[in-house]
Chains A and B, each alone.
Chain A
Amino acid sequence: MASVFRLLRTLQSNNGLLCKASSQPAFSRLPQQMGRHHGSAPLTRYRCAYTRAVPLASAAFSTSSHPMRKKVMFPGSLNSEYTHELSFASSVESIPTYQVMDTDGKVLDPANEPQVSEEEAKTMYRNMLTLNAMDQILYESQRQGRISFYMTSFGEEALIGSAAALDPKDLVFGQYREAGVLLQRGFTIEQFMNQCYSNEKDLGKGRQMPVHYGTKELHFQTISSPLATQIPQAAGAAYAMRREGSKLCTICYFGEGAASEGDFHAGLNMAATLGCPVIFYCRNNGYAISTPSIEQYRGDGIASRGIGYGIDTIRVDGNDIWAIYAATKAARTIAVEQNKPVLIEAMTYRVSHHSTSDDSSAYRSKKEVEDWSKRDNPISRMRAWLENKGWWVKGEDAEITKSAKAKVLEAFAAAEQLKKPAIRHMFEDVYSELTPELVREKEEIEALIKKYPDYYQVNDYAKS
């Protein structure tokens, strides 16, 4: 019923606009814009013809008064010309992949030399190594049954470049493989361990599975397992940030698999039409669990969809930390200065299994993975770049990795010693306050625990 009313309203308002348009355009901005496009050099393939600043309170406008008869006048086809050739649009040339350095860490165009200090670059690299070390230890610890679950970032460590390009106050919506972003933001090894151990110091109070990090202090929204749900949320949060006038933006990470979810389409379209300062960052690592990207989509990756939604889009080499860094910096400027969404598609390869519950040898050969790790590794590329700059001494890695591992193991042991969060945390935060029903349930459980302390293993939990 509601949708019928909506349709009626749309028809009525369209009629109104059409009537008005015969004498005077309802909004003059659009025809001017279109005229400019028409008169200038042909649009590049990748530039969206209608990306434009969207007012906060977006208003409908009419195209029916367009003066040029060559162009289609229906309100839904903003920059289309008539043709007399019967042909279907299918593929266009593949969107190129932006690269700053090659696999030997050599900057290919001197103009693209990264504008970072030695210390910034080294911090990024140290975080890549630390992430790698942490992943190795936590992966093993899951194998030993010490934590229930884990997801590694092997092969995708260059993601750290995106975090380095942001303002620390920009809001992050992650999917689940963004530990590197948190590291770059300053989430401590102890905090990672506490979450994975679901102990009393876990910010999430032990309620979610390992790797579901979240921290208000570092502006990183808590991970939720359902895929792509964060995408429209990121658009909404960005709209709120725009209203706040904060000159900040939102970045939203997701995989190419998640981009098949309805929420992806909803989120990108909302962001485009409402002018939201959000960077959509697609980690295209070739696999959604077992499903290779060829079974996930048939278009030109995820990037081509951004253009379809009228979103400024770039594809980058996702193993090239400097390409990621530069693209994210530029995307941030567009988002914040022009109040528009941007889509970055970072092409990489998931060296990891999907998670510790997955054995990827069931659907891809070990050799394929080994070849990839050898051929192109974001860590070795960054190291090569640092060495080329003379900022890194050969062998320094071993030292860093060793100390990172020591730090992880220390934090790990400490986290293992801590108790689970107090049982009261099970009932809190469902609502802002305990409901009468929850109070009753809490009393029931407390009585049972008193009666059966051994069965419930209450000593595992903190006292209060």
Chain B
Amino acid sequence: MLRLLLPKQRLSRVRHYTAPINGHPMGIANSSLLLRTVASAQTDSRLSSLGLADTELRKMNMCQAINDALRIAMQTNDKAVVFGEDVAFGGVFRCSTGLSQEFGRERVFNTPLTEQGIVGFAVGMASRGHTAVAEIQFADYIYPAFDQLVNEAAKFRYRSGNEFNVGGLTVRAPAMAVGHGGHYHSQSPEAFFAHVPGLKVVVPRSPTEAKGLLLAAIRDPNPTVFLEPKILYRAAVEHVPTADYTLPLSQAQVLKQGSDVTVVGYGSQIYALENAIQLVERDTQASCELIDLRTIHPLDADTVVKSVNKTGRLVVAHEASRTMGVAAELASVVQERCFLRLESPVERVCGLDVPHPLVFERFYMPCAVRVYEAIKRSLAY
């Protein structure tokens, strides 16, 4: 839908995310979680376990990694198609650049401007056993397709007694804050879809993750909503294996071991968590465990529960508004399964309960400062 397009992130307003806190360097560019060097990629345990440690690597931002995943998905499956608004010329974020030239306009095509049409069309293709990768230009504009996702895609298998399914459906959408997107270019709608039995919801945090998870989502025999934190499209750069690989869905990843508090998030939020942990560990004796949920639904509760049973404390953070959000679900699961191990109440650090407010975004965001304060509260309880 609108489509005010925000691919260029060069505004001064973004600066507050990376402004140092008490002199500490912050932000995605300084993250040690990204495979910013060849050596870091070659020694990455996640890639080693997939046998990718010694394979060819290429420096990619998340946009290019997604492009690479889409290319592989189509190379390896003749029934795979990629479509959406402005997709043919490369998409407004350039994620589909070059694909229409390589695979032709029958497989990579523009659609009229109708999200319900796009997703309904994808459901129809998937119901015939095809692999439909539909792009919604911004997650903020996915709601006209809500009916197709919630009432159709999610229930296709169940309602037909498994006569039919739309497992080949993947809906990609750029999501979350970018510094100047306001109400309609910033939203994080994952909780809406995570609430629906039958849909999978995935949010990647980096180029390597995005490629492996997107390929997994495309090949998974269930309809998947794949939300891409648009701020990472260009800001996150890694040395990514050029090979065809998938990363498992519904498997959270422990990014950093720790013993005193478990900190959980997903997508671009991971970098605010990383910074908050760095500050906490600098200022206190505490050791924090960091977990990337990766798949929002179906949730890998076991990894989180195992961690909280070790640390006794949980801080969950996401950009989406706090009330009825993903953090609430996680808090609930943890109190059910870790009740006797909890040393403090679960802390939620989330977007405020207001529409994403352009000029107030810095206050709205669950930034490192807010997470830092929450971790300290949890530790001091």
Contact = CB atoms under 8 A, between A and B. Distances in A.
Contacts of B140: 225-226
Interface string B11-32: 1110010010100000000000
Given A176-B2, A227-B1, A448-B373, A206 B357 contact: yes
A420 B10 CA distance: 20
Interface stretch (B49-57, B108-116, B294-302, B330-338): B108-116
Interface string B132-147: 0000000011011000
A227 B2 contact: yes
Interface string B112-127: 1111110000000000
B113 A258 contact: yes
Interface stretch (B167-175, B220-228, B234-242, B363-371): B363-371
A291 B5 contact: no
A455 B85 contact: no
Contact of A148 (B13, B141, B354): B13
* Residue from A227, A355, A445 with most neighbouring chain B CB atoms (10 Å): A227
A288 B355 contact: no
Contacts of A227: 1-3, 113, 141
B362 interface: yes
Interface stretch (B58-66, B182-190, B200-208, B285-293): B182-190
Contacts of A148: 11, 13, 180
Interface stretch (B86-94, B260-268, B303-311): B86-94
B323 interface: yes
Contacts of B7: 357
Taking chain A's interface residues, is the majority helix, strand, or loop, or is none over half, making it mixed? loop
B369 A261 contact: no
A226 B21 CA distance: 36
Contacts of A225: 1-4, 140, 182-185
A421 to B, nearest CB: 7
A268 B180 CA distance: 34
Interface in B75-114: 85-86, 88-90, 92, 110, 112-114
B85 A149 contact: no
Contact of B19 (A212, A430, A455): A455
Nearest to B5: A357
B369 A354 contact: no
A449 B363 contact: yes
B131 to A, nearest CB: 22
Contacts of B362: 456-457
Given A208-B358, A445-B363, A260 B112 contact: yes
Contacts of A262: 114, 116-117, 144
Interface centre among B86, B143, B364 (most CB of A within 10 A): B86
A206 B3 contact: no
A208 B183 contact: yes
Contacts of B373: 448
B117 A145 contact: no
Contacts of B364: 426
| Interface residue range, chain A | 35 or more
A207 B118 CA distance: 30
Contacts of B143: 226
A441 B352 contact: yes
Contacts of A455: 16, 19, 21, 369
B86 to A, nearest CB: 4
Given A430-B353, A449-B363, A288 B85 contact: yes
Interface in B319-365: 322-323, 352-355, 357-360, 362-364
A12 B236 CA distance: 61
B182 A207 contact: yes
Interface in A179-212: 198, 206-209, 212
B248 interface: no
A206 B184 contact: no
B196 interface: no
A352 to B, nearest CB: 13
B4 A291 contact: no
A456 B16 CA distance: 7
Nearest to A202: B359
A289 B112 contact: no
A290 B89 CA distance: 7
A379 to B, nearest CB: 25
Nearest to B97: A362
Contact of A362 (B90, B180, B322, B370): B90
B6 interface: yes
A290 B85 CA distance: 9
Nearest to B3: A289
Interface in A224-255: 224-228
Contact of B363 (A208, A228, A423, A430): A423
Given A260-B112, A357-B7, A427-B354, A209 B85 contact: no
A357 B2 contact: no
A257 B4 CA distance: 14
B181 interface: yes
A452 B354 CA distance: 22
B6 A291 contact: no
A291 B92 CA distance: 11
A148 B113 CA distance: 25
A391 interface: no
Contacts of A260: 112-114, 117
Q: Which of B5, B7, B90, B184 has the most CB of A within 10 A?
A: B5
A145 B357 contact: no
Interface in A406-464: 420-421, 423, 425-427, 430, 435, 437-438, 441, 445, 448-449, 452, 455-457
B116 A209 contact: no
A151 interface: yes
A291 B110 contact: yes
A448 B374 CA distance: 11
Contact of B8 (A226, A261, A357, A430): A357
A427 B321 CA distance: 13
A258 B137 CA distance: 14
Nearest to A149: B4
Given A176-B2, A225-B1, A448-B373, A291 B355 contact: no
A176 B2 CA distance: 9
Contacts of B13: 148
A455 B372 CA distance: 13
Contact of B112 (A263, A296, A438): A296
B1 A206 contact: no
B144 A263 contact: yes
Contacts of B90: 362
B112 A295 contact: yes
A289 B86 contact: yes
Contact of B85 (A291, A358, A438, A457): A291
A437 B323 contact: yes
Interface of A: 145, 148-149, 151, 176, 198, 206-209, 212, 224-228, 257-258, 260-263, 288-291, 295-297, 354-355, 357-358, 362-363, 420-421, 423, 425-427, 430, 435, 437-438, 441, 445, 448-449, 452, 455-457
Given A145-B12, A297-B112, A455-B16, 4 more contacts: A227-B141, A291-B85, A357-B4, A357-B7
7 contacts: A207-B182, A209-B185, A295-B110, A357-B4, A357-B7, A357-B8, A426-B363
Q: Shortest 10 CB-CB distances between A and B: which pairs? A: A206-B359, A357-B5, A225-B2, A225-B184, A260-B112, A426-B360, A148-B180, A227-B1, A209-B182, A257-B113
